[in-house]
């Protein structure tokens, strides 16, 4: 049996706690290929002060997950055994001392603790109450579980970092991917003119999401064809940084979702007079509420390509790492419908 995801805390909870004392979780004993992921029986965590216990119904699968799995260590040095996963949708089972914004039975979604271990690939998680928000009306658990990390990344990049305004020209790379397909919609909701890059087979989808133009990244170089861009959202990095910079007008902004390294053309950015920043997403209750409002207004929808049961986390990672996913992959936890058998 592995160690519990979160050490039990003795702070009192409000209301009767009827959850079992153990739970199923996907754990790994070392870094490596997808087959290091194993379903284990482990202790259920208890909520501490300011925390809630959530019965997980769906957990989104993100690139951060398979990168952490392969590396076998979190950025803060946490070593195996551990449980991956940051996207959570589920039902509040209990609340810790001092929590006033939720009560047992509330349906929530969130991206708790990122970039530290949240342990979403499990039947229960605990986390600070304000890392969650009410589940958007009209979404089921699967759809809500697909949203938090990708939508918060897009929101924080475009709205909080780049301050996208009506009439601006926004270029979004990988516009059919998990972050990209949501970023297209958020940029359109802000009144921007949106250009997306995607393979030809995905152009129709990107257009239905609101993109004004779509470029086939396999046959066209955006850096050579697109000009006068105000904001670029780049989650690809490497040689793409230079291509992104060439599209920007003076005073424009490049938001990279990957940390800059020695290959980043810093001199080119300076000469072009553009702002270039690396952004790491953070837990954000207000951002989740803004995203919920877009969903409920019909201006944001999440595309879910595949749903797997918790027991098939290996296959979910294999699909994600293949790099051809449209939208999101989700793990269904418990008796939620829709998972591939």
> Interior CA angle at 195 toward 245 and 322, to 5°?
85
* Residue-level pLDDT at 219: 78
Q: Which CATH number fits domain 13-147+302-332: 3.90.180.10, 3.40.190.10, 2.40.50.100, 2.40.400.10?
A: 3.90.180.10
* Residue-level pLDDT at 334: 80
* Residue-level pLDDT at 312: 98
What secondary structure letter does DSSP report for 201? G
CA–CA separation, 309 and 256 (whole Å)? 32
- Cβ atoms of 154 and 34 within 8 Å: the answer is no
Cβ-count burial 112-139 (b if 16+ within 10 Å, e if not) = bbbeebbbbbbbbbbbbbbbbbbbbeeb
pLDDT tens for the chain, 341 residues: list them: 333 333 333 344 555 567 789 999 999 999 999 999 999 999 999 999 999 999 999 999 999 999 999 999 998 899 999 999 999 999 999 999 999 999 999 999 999 999 999 999 999 999 999 999 999 999 999 999 999 999 999 999 999 999 999 999 999 999 999 999 999 999 999 999 999 999 999 999 999 999 999 999 877 878 778 999 999 999 999 999 999 999 999 999 999 999 999 999 999 999 999 999 999 999 999 999 999 999 999 999 999 999 999 999 999 999 999 988 899 999 999 865 445 54
* Ranges of each domain in the chain: 13-147+302-332, 150-278
* Residue-level pLDDT at 175: 96
* Residue-level pLDDT at 289: 98
Question: What residue spans of the chain are helical by DSSP H?
Answer: 63-71, 141-146, 148-155, 178-189, 203-208, 222-225, 239-247, 266-272, 285-296, 313-321
Query: What's the Cα-to-Cα distance from 76 to each of 79, 113, 116, 142, 256, rounded to whole Å?
Result: 9, 12, 7, 29, 21
- Cβ atoms of 152 and 111 within 8 Å: the answer is yes
By DSSP bridging, strand 213-216 and strand 193-198 are parallel
- Cβ atoms of 62 and 87 within 8 Å: the answer is yes
Please give the CATH topology (third level) of the domain spanning 150-278. Rossmann fold (3.40.50)
Match 């850096």 to its residue by tokens: 223
């Amino acid at each position: 049996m592995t160690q519990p995801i979160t050490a039990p805390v003795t702070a009192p909870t409000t209301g009767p706690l009827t959850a079992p004392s153990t739970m199923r979780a996907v754990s790994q004993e070392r870094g490596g290929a997808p087959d290091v992921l194993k379903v284990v029986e482990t202790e259920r965590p208890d909520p501490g002060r300011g925390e809630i216990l959530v019965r997980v119904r769906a957990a989104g699968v993100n690139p951060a997950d398979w990168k952490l799995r392969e590396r076998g260590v979190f950025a803060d040095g946490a070593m195996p055994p551990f449980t991956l996963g940051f996207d959570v949708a589920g039902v509040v089972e209990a609340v810790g001392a001092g929590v006033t914004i939720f009560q047992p039975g509330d349906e929530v979604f969130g991206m708790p603790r990122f970039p530290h271990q949240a342990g979403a690939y499990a039947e229960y998680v605990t986390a600070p109450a304000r890392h969650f928000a009410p589940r958007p009306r009209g979404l089921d658990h699967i759809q809500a579980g697909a949203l938090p990390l990708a939508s918060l990344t897009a929101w924080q990049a475009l709205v909080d970092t780049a301050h996208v305004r009506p009439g601006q020209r926004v270029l979004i790379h990988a516009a059919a991917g998990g972050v990209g397909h949501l970023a297209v919609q958020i940029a359109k909701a802000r009144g921007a003119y949106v250009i997306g890059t995607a393979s030809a087979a995905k152009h129709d989808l990107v257009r239905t999401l609101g993109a004004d133009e779509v470029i086939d990244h396999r046959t066209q170089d955006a850096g050579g064809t697109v000009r006068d861009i105000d904001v670029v959202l780049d989650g690809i990095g490497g040689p793409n940084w230079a291509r992104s910079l060439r599209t920007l007008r003076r005073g424009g902004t490049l938001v990279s979702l990957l940390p800059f390294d020695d290959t980043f053309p810093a001199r080119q950015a300076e000469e072009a007079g553009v702002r270039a920043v690396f952004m790491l997403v953070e837990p954000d209750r207000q951002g989740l509420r803004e995203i919920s409002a877009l969903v409920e207004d019909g201006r944001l929808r999440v595309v879910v390509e595949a749903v797997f049961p918790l027991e098939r986390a290996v296959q979910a990672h294999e699909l994600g790492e293949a790099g051809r996913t449209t939208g999101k992959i989700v793990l269904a936890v418990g008796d939620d419908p829709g998972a591939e058998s």
